[in-house]
Structures are given as C-alpha cells and as structure tokens.
Amino acid sequence: MSAPIPAETGWDSAPGLLEGAMTLDLTPEQCDLGYWLRGVAQGTLAGRAETGHTDAEPTPEHMRADGPLRDAQVLELSCRSVAEAQATRVLAHYVAQAPDIVELEFFTTQLVDEARHSMVFRRHLLAMGVPADRLHASIAEVSAEYRREVLEPILDFALTTVRDEGDFVGGVAVFTIIIEGVLAPAAELSERKWNLLDPAAGAIARGAAIDEVRHLTVGSSVVRRHLLRRPERKAALLDIVRRGREIWDGIPDRKHVLRREELFQAGMREHADLLAGYEVWPGQPLLSTTPEQRYAMAEQWTDRMAAARLVHMGLPEAIDLLRLTD
C-alpha cells in the first residue's frame, strides 16, 4: 500500500501561502527526496506537471487579446520566470555546499521546484500567444530592467554568502528571510488576482505557492536548528539580515510592482463583469482596490509572515530590521 499524500502537498488540502508559512513546521528530514517524489510529484503535480494547471483550468480568450490585462500578465510572468530561473542557478551552490545528505536532498528538490516554476510561467506565455520562436527573447526584453535592478543585487548577496564566504546557513537565511520572504507575498497576491480572470494562471500560482510554503518553513527550521546548536552565531545572522535589508532598501521594487499593477488595474476594469462580488481579501472587493492598496497589502503580508518565521527561527530581534510598514 502506498503512503498517503502529505496534507501540505495535496492540491485541495494544502494551506495558502500566508497561513502555511506562518503555521507549518517542516524540517529537511521530513522533506527529503522520497517525500518530494511522493508528495509533490504525485500530489501537487498530479495532472499539472507540464503546464501547472489542468484542462479544467483554461486560459480564456481575453488573455490572448491585446490590451492592458494581457500586458500585465506578460510582464508579471516574464519577470517571475526569470526570477525563478536565476534562483535555480543560485541554488546549485546551495546543493554543492550542503553540509550533509539531508540538506543536499532538500535543496536539490527546491532547485527542481524553482526550475519547474520558471518552466510553467514560460509555457503560460505561449498559451497567451507569445510566439514560440520569440519566447526567450521576449522574456529577456520585458524583464531586463527588473533583472538588473531587483534580481541581481539580492541574488548576488546570496551567492556571496553561500559560495564566496562559505556560510551555508547564512545563505539559507538570505534565501528564506530576504529573497523568498519578501517576494512570496507578491506571489500570494498573484493567485488572488488571477484566479477568476485567468484560471490557468491562478492554478499555476497556487502550485508555486504550495512549494514556497515548504521552502520557507524548511529553510526556517535549518536556521532554527543551527542557532540551537550554535547560539553564538546569532549576531552574525542578524548582521546578514541587516545587510540584506540595506540591499533591499536600495532596490526599486515598488516601481516594478506598481507598473504591472497599474496595467492590471486598467485590464480588470475592462472585465469587471467577471469580478462582480469577488473579494481579494476578506471584506475587500478586488474591483475597488487600487495598485497602491494592493502593494501595501502585500507589504503587510510580508511583515506578518516575517515576524512569525523570525520568532520561530530564534531571531525575533530581526523583526524590526525587516518591517516594511509602520
């Protein structure tokens, strides 16, 4: 008899990103290669392995039509595809530097997760009508400024920590607290925005979020265990968070997020009939939100999630260092 699919990797049973990241406690021992082959490959990805969605979650015709809604999605998916591809390259160094088989197996699965995310984001662009022979060039053109201004500085920091300084746990802290921790709430917002306007994109975002919960919680447990064994390392890890925050403060993330949110704003108005009565978060109709409100909510989600994870790791002193909202 085969073992059951873990609840946190089941499509219908897995928690949302915010809930899962703030409440689940998963370790690399739990989330080994066997766990991934069973729970993710046969659970999360069942029927969705190649595209991230099923035939019952279609790409509507209006997502192939020229206009601000399609432009918003092309911009978002191009940037997210590049982010995931670059993260995959960086994670190769985490696999190489893993101190034992437990961490090696887990970060190998995370590397595969990020590569898969990049793939399904790219493939959805094809479903939206981006020509196959122009796909990679189009992604590079659309995402060039985002890659240069947002991705490269923060991913270079991770590389410096794990590859050049040889600090594996410090590198895990950078990825978990700074990179995934700050970018994940935007992914949560993406799922909520698109699930009615583009069911295929909503499903793709859902699958990626299930994976990100695992990445955040296991990364947190690696840092927590390290500090329990070596409490004298707390000052060094807090310094890594401080340096990461200084880098993030110099990144024009707001400019890039608001650019695509403004396109989305114009596009959702053109398809308001699909969103009648839909609340993007409790008590808040999506149609009555503004780009600035959605960005501000993503920042609030970041703060809540960071506070919960940092306390779990044993780094509550870092909460104020990372706080994005007053």
Binding-site residues for Fe(3+) sit at: 84, 114, 117, 180, 212, 215
Q: Using CA atoms, how far apart are residues 162 and 140, in angstroms rounded to an integer?
A: 27
Beta carbons within 8 Å of 20's beta carbon, 6+ residues apart: 8, 14, 210, 213, 217
Question: What is the dihedral sign for C-alpha 310, 311, 314, 315?
Answer: positive
Structure tokens at 196: 């009615």
Structure tokens at 262: 């403004």
Q: Using CA atoms, how far apart are residues 26 and 139, in angstroms rounded to an integer?
A: 34
Query: Is residue 21 a contact partner of residue 305, using CB atoms and an 8 Å limit?
Result: yes
Nearest to 47 by CA among 84, 3, 11, 87: 11
Q: At 284, give phi and psi (nearest 5°).
A: -125, 105
Radius of gyration in angstroms for the set of CA atoms belonging to the chain, rounded to a whole number = 19
Q: Which residues are annotated as a binding site?
A: 84, 114, 117, 180, 212, 215
Q: Using CA atoms, how far apart are residues 37 and 48, in angstroms rounded to an integer?
A: 14
Q: Which amino acid is at 145?
A: E
Nearest to 74 by CA among 3, 1, 127, 145: 127
